[in-house]
Amino acid sequence: MPFSTPELFLQKIRRQFAKPRVSILVPAFNAREFICETLDSLNDQTFQDFQILISIDKSDDDTGTIVERWCKEHENIQTKIFYQAHLLGWVQNINFLLKQCTTKYFIMMPHDDLIHKTYLEKLFHHIKSNPSACVVFSDVQGFGKQNLLITQSSVKGDKAERAHEFLINHLAAVASRGLVNRKILSDFILLSENNYSNIAIDTIWNMQMSLMGEMIRIPEVLYYKRYQSNSVHEQWWKFGKEDAIKAWLEHCTDCLKLIFRAGFEQDEMISLIRATKSRLIQDARYICPNKELSTLSEKERTWLVDEFEKTILILSEAKIDQFHRILENV
CB within 8 Å of 106: residues ≥ 6 apart = 22, 23, 24, 25, 98, 179, 180, 182
Backbone angles phi, psi at 114, to 5 degrees: -135, 155
- Asked whether the beta carbons of 95 and 149 are under 8 A apart, the reply is no
- Asked whether the beta carbons of 132 and 197 are under 8 A apart, the reply is no
* Cα separations in angstroms, 46 against 117, 118, 119, 326: 6, 6, 8, 51
Rounded Cα–Cα distance for residues 123 and 180 (Å):
10
Closest CA to 42 of 127, 105, 108, 134: 108
Strands 133-144 and 149-150: antiparallel
pLDDT tens-digit profile, the chain (330 residues) = 455 566 666 666 655 567 899 999 999 999 999 999 999 999 999 999 999 999 999 998 999 999 999 999 999 899 999 999 999 999 999 999 999 999 999 999 999 999 999 999 999 999 999 999 999 999 999 998 889 999 999 999 999 999 999 999 898 899 999 999 998 886 668 999 988 888 889 999 999 999 999 999 999 999 999 988 777 766 776 778 888 888 889 999 999 999 999 989 989 999 999 999 989 887 655 445 556 667 778 888 889 899 999 998 888 875 545 555 555 556
Q: Is the dihedral of CA 125, 115, 43, 104 positive or negative?
A: positive
Q: What crossing angle do the helices spanning 241-261 and 159-169 adopt, rounded to 10°?
A: 170
In degrees, rounded to 5, the angle at the alpha carbon of residue 103 between the alpha carbons of residues 134 and 263 is 35
Q: Is 293 helix (H, G, I), strand (E, B) or coil?
A: helix
The pLDDT assigned to 288 comes to: 57
The pLDDT assigned to 16 comes to: 57
Single-letter code of the amino acid located at 224: Y
DSSP at 183: G
Torsional class of 96: left (φ above 0), alpha (ψ -120 to 50), beta (otherwise) = alpha
Provide the CA 133 distance to its chain's centre, in angstroms.
15
Specify the pTM: 0.88
Q: Is the dihedral of CA 327, 210, 233, 152 positive or negative?
A: positive
Domains of the chain: 1-112 (3.90.550.10), 115-228 (no CATH), 237-329 (1.20.58)
